[in-house]
């Protein structure tokens, strides 16, 4: 009898040991599940940041001298907008995207590309020392040092640009010059082309054209504020001129009317006006100067009076926007508003391609003609136009797309 009781006591001790070992094992699995879940979330958040970084940077690769600087700044800004490590705004204080995380490659994928040759951008960031508390605790309990207290998490994204199958152009139609063919349709880069409001556009000129194919003048103004979906083959409409078109156009120069203002419709980074008879006597190739003016948030002109003379407009209570410069609303609210995509059409107003153009002047009245500068085919790798649209087309402005 005593032997049986003793045997049962021994078995009870064995069960306690077994349960304790199972608890340690279960704790290890629990820690593994919790910490791996945490690492997976950090990895997903970090990947979103790298995707945004690569896409934003690729959009700036247009072959211009400052392309790498713009692309790097855009990538840093877009990447760091995202939150990482359980939506931490500071990424748990472990460091966010820097210029060192962004590299560029040429069309053959060779590293060390320059502003002129860069076609691919890669964003690669390592989130250091992500805590694995439960796994580490389980390792301490079983006496193992193999379970690290912290782990690094990395993510990489690479992007380039490709022609869009649809895009968001201006409600205009550029007619090729007689005999002009793709890519530039008879135009020369830097050439000034007239936007006709008084008469229907003829060869080598631009006219208003509704992107939805209608002839409604009010629709033109609505599309001037933003309309997407135009593609090669779309048929454009030929509307009349709407009186408020000028107000919507001029907002891109920081010129506002009535109760509108920059918070409602962003201006470009510069409102400087180019006119052959006034501020830019060559009457061509203003783009290089425009880039310099934009980087300095240059005013419409040196003073309110000079701005009114250049624009033939009377400035109202928003004069400070047009003349605020680097210390005013052009810097606070400015964005890319004067480099625009314009559909190129055939004789039947069917879209056959897209051009990149620079808005040179505000419109003094709805029925005045103004000029734009031709900057080449929008699908050219050196096009300065920042495009938007759905990738996957055979012709059209270049839009960023992830390749890795």
Taking the C-alpha atoms of residue 338 and residue 350, their distance in angstroms, rounded to an integer, is 24
Q: Pick the residue with more confidence: 103 or 18?
A: 103
Q: β-strands 120-131, 102-105: how paired?
A: antiparallel
In angstroms, how far is CA 365 from the centroid of its own chain? 32
The beta-strand segments (E) located in 248-385 are: 339-345, 351-359, 370-377
Report the candidate in 168, 129, 128 with the shortest Cα–Cα distance to residue 149.
129
Q: What pLDDT score does 159 carry?
A: 94
Q: Of the ranges 117-126, 251-260, 333-342, which one carries the lowest mean pLDDT score?
A: 251-260
pLDDT tens digits, residue range 343-359? 999 999 999 999 999 99
pLDDT tens digits, residue range 277-294? 888 999 999 999 998 888
DSSP classification of residue 297: T
Q: What pLDDT score does 114 carry?
A: 92
Taking the C-alpha atoms of residue 376 and residue 384, their distance in angstroms, rounded to an integer, is 9
The SS3 call for residue 316 is coil
Taking the C-alpha atoms of residue 190 and residue 178, their distance in angstroms, rounded to an integer, is 19
Residues 319, 304 contacting (CB under 8 angstroms):
yes
Sequence-distant (6+) residues with CB within 8 A of 355 are: 174, 185, 187, 341, 342, 343, 344, 374, 375, 376, 377, 378
Residue 325: both structure tokens together:
């410069």
Taking the C-alpha atoms of residue 10 and residue 16, their distance in angstroms, rounded to an integer, is 10
Taking the C-alpha atoms of residue 82 and residue 56, their distance in angstroms, rounded to an integer, is 13
pLDDT tens digits, residue range 74-99? 899 889 889 988 888 888 888 899 99
Q: Percent of the chain beyond pLDDT 70?
A: 78
Does the pLDDT at position 171 exceed 60?
yes
Sequence-distant (6+) residues with CB within 8 A of 117 are: 63, 106, 107
pLDDT category of residue 189 using cuts at 50, 70 and 90: very high
pLDDT tens digits, residue range 305-331? 888 888 888 776 555 555 555 556 777
Q: Pick the residue with more confidence: 383 or 102?
A: 102
Q: What pLDDT score does 388 carry?
A: 64
Q: What pLDDT score does 396 carry?
A: 67
Taking the C-alpha atoms of residue 279 and residue 351, their distance in angstroms, rounded to an integer, is 34
Q: Pick the residue with more confidence: 214 or 131?
A: 214
Q: What pLDDT score does 187 carry?
A: 96
pLDDT category of residue 121 using cuts at 50, 70 and 90: very high
Place of tokens 């690569």: 54
**Global confidence as pTM:** 0.67
Taking the C-alpha atoms of residue 397 and residue 332, their distance in angstroms, rounded to an integer, is 28
Longest dimension (CA), the chain: 120
Taking the C-alpha atoms of residue 281 and residue 161, their distance in angstroms, rounded to an integer, is 36
Q: What pLDDT score does 285 carry?
A: 96
Taking the C-alpha atoms of residue 219 and residue 21, their distance in angstroms, rounded to an integer, is 74
Average pLDDT of every residue of the chain: 81
pLDDT category of residue 218 using cuts at 50, 70 and 90: confident
Taking the C-alpha atoms of residue 381 and residue 67, their distance in angstroms, rounded to an integer, is 12
């Amino acid at each position: 009898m005593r032997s049986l009781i003793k045997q049962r006591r021994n078995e009870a001790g064995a069960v306690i040991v077994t349960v304790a070992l199972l608890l340690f094992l279960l704790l290890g699995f629990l820690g593994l599940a919790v910490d791996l879940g945490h690492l997976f979330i950090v990895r997903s958040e970090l990947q979103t940041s790298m995707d945004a970084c690569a896409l934003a940077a690729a959009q700036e690769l247009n072959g211009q001298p400052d392309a790498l600087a713009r692309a790097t700044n855009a990538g840093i800004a877009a990447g760091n907008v995202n939150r990482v490590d359980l939506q931490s705004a500071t990424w748990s204080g472990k460091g966010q995207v820097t210029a060192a995380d962004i590299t560029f490659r040429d069309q053959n994928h060779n590293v060390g590309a320059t502003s002129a040759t860069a076609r691919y951008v890669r964003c690669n960031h390592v989130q250091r020392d992500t805590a694995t508390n439960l796994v580490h605790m389980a390792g301490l309990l079983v006496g193992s040092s193999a379970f690290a207290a912290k782990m690094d998490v990395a993510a990489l994204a690479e992007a380039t640009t490709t022609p869009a199958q649809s895009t968001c152009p201006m409600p205009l139609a550029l007619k090729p010059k007689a005999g002009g063919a793709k890519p530039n349709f008879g135009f020369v880069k830097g050439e000034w082309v007239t936007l006709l409001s008084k008469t229907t556009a003829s060869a080598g000129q631009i006219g208003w054209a509704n992107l939805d194919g209608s002839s409604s003048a009010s629709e033109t103004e609505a599309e001037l504020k933003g309309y997407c979906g135009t593609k090669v083959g779309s048929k454009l409409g030929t509307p009349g001129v709407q009186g408020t078109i000028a107000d919507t156009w001029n907002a891109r120069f920081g010129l506002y009317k009535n109760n509108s203002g920059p918070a409602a419709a962003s201006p470009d980074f510069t409102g400087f006006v180019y006119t052959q008879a006034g501020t830019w006597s060559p009457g061509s190739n203003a783009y290089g100067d425009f880039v310099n003016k934009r980087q300095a948030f240059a005013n419409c002109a040196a003073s309110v009076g000079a701005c009114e003379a250049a624009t033939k407009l009377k400035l109202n209570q928003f004069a400070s926007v047009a003349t605020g410069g680097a210390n005013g609303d052009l810097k606070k609210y400015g964005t890319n508003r004067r480099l625009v995509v314009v559909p190129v059409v055939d004789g039947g107003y069917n879209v056959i391609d897209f051009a990149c153009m620079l808005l040179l002047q505000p419109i003094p009245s709805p029925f005045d003609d103004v000029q734009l500068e031709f900057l080449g085919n929008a699908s050219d790798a050196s096009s300065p136009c920042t495009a938007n649209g759905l990738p996957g087309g055979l012709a059209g402005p270049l839009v960023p797309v992830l390749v890795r």
